[in-house]
Amino acid sequence: MRKRRTNLGYFISEGFHSIFSHGLMSFAAVCMIVACLIIMGSFSLLALNADQVMSQLESENVFYAYIDENYTDEQITELEAKVKQIDNVASVEFVSREQAKEEYLGGRTEEMFVNMPDEVFRDRLVIHVYDLEKFSQTVDEVSALEGVADHRAEQDLTDAFITVRNVATAVAGILIGILAAISLFIIANTVRLAAFARREEIAIMKMCGASDSFIRWPFVIEGMLLGLFGALLAFFAQWGIYAGVYKAVMTSSAATIVIPVTFGAVWYWVLGVFALAGVLIGVCGSGLAIRRFLRV
């Protein structure tokens, strides 16, 4: 047990020493990790907020199908049954022209509204859907049914948020891939410099019987530390950026449409993902760099 503790202390000490012996490269590696994680975090939070807005809109995921005025009660019942058979339809409610008039009037008492004939209004089906991503498709399917004369659907806002979420996810994936590759390259070079400076020492250790894992661990620790430093810096930077954006949104007119997710609700998720991603990048970069120096 004591030997393991001694080895761990040696590994950590050597890891820190390697970081500071190549300060400029270490700084560049940390900066790239920070940039990668902030971009990943920003686009992920954007997609998360778009999902939340879509969830809020799902409580209002409704459109109206106006029924042919020549349809009888029996035909209306058949049409309602056909609409219910469409996969994405959650519920269907028939509203007669008389009910539509009452809803329209509300508390109005003006004579011009009260005396408005029922014929001005039309029988309609109020249709709720399950999945907003299939909203447009569902509207088209209902509109294509015989007996549906017209429809009204407010889908522009829904489509806009779906587009934002999909674009944010795609852009985040591309940029994360590029920056992660650059981060791996820089960390690998940083560790490679440290290993090159100690190549004779590594060769002697190998000839004296030191295992590959004993030689490798200080460099792995170096990569892990670089990844963790980058993750912590990225977390606090992301916190500050998101707090600024959140405040700007909540003090603008957009707050009537969008209620952003608070950072307090997701900080542990952001920190955990950043730490895991930083460590993985660091360990992979170290593994790539040290492999060739173990072939003695």
State the Cα–Cα distance between residues 120 and 147, nearest whole angstrom.
18
What is the pLDDT at residue 164?
A: 73
Residue 10 pLDDT exceeds 70: no
State the Cα–Cα distance between residues 122 and 96, nearest whole angstrom.
7
How many beta carbons lie within 10 A of that of residue 60, not counting itself?
A: 11
Residue 231 pLDDT exceeds 70: yes
Question: What's the average model confidence in pLDDT over 207-226?
Answer: 74
Q: What is the pLDDT of residues 101-136, one digit of tens each?
A: 776 666 555 554 555 544 457 888 888 888 777 888
Q: How confident is the model at residue 239 (pLDDT cuts 50, 70, 90)?
A: very high
Question: Cα-flanking dihedrals φ and ψ of residue 153, to 5°?
Answer: -145, 130
Tokens 């250790």 label which residue?
Answer: 205
Residue 91 pLDDT exceeds 80: yes
Domain spans of the chain, in order of start = 2-56+172-294, 60-158
Question: Cα-flanking dihedrals φ and ψ of residue 108, to 5°?
Answer: -70, 140
H/E stretch holding 134: none
Question: What's the average model confidence in pLDDT over 3-14?
Answer: 61
Q: What is the pLDDT of residues 150-208, one digit of tens each?
A: 888 766 666 776 777 777 778 777 877 787 777 777 777 766 766 666 666 666 666 67
- What 3-state class would DSSP assign to 65? strand
CA-to-CA dists, residue 236 to 122, 145, 173, angstroms: 57, 54, 22
State the Cα–Cα distance between residues 211 and 288, nearest whole angstrom.
18
| CATH no. of 60-158 | 3.30.70.3040
